[in-house]
Amino acid sequence: MSTNDDHLDANAAGGALRELFSVDLTAAGTLCATCAHSFTFAEALLYARAPGLVGRCPACGEVVFRLVRGPGRAWLDLRGSTCLAIRMPEGR
């Protein structure tokens, strides 16, 4: 089986993620739960022509996040990511 492809880079998910979090998650580091590849969220392959946003690991293609936005609600599934590394301001 081969595939063709039609994705964006996940910088395009920045606005949607900023609605949920007060930090810019596209700059956050993460590990793929499937292949342990280390990357920033912005490097994920983003599939946006779907009922939600789907981010896939740039190394193995497995799903690392799903974000669905409904009226007054949002659902974020991060089970494909094992950890988030978020830059924080110094000061303590």
72 to each of 15, 20, 48, 67, how far by Cα in Å?
16, 12, 20, 14
Residues 49-78 close enough to bind another protein by CB under 8 A: 49-54, 56, 61-63, 66-71, 73-77
Query: How many residues comprise the chain?
Result: 92
Contact yes or no for 81/64 (Cβ under 8 A): yes
3 binds another protein (CB under 8 A): yes
What distance, in Å, lies between the first and last C-alpha atoms of the chain? 52
Which one of 3-11, 25-33, 36-44, 81-89 is the stretch in contact with another protein (CB under 8 A)?
3-11
Residue 63 pairs in a beta bridge with 56
Number of residues that bind another protein (CB under 8 A): 38
87 binds another protein (CB under 8 A): no
33 binds another protein (CB under 8 A): no
Residue ranges in contact with another protein by CB under 8 A: 1-8, 12-16, 19, 46-54, 56, 61-63, 66-71, 73-77
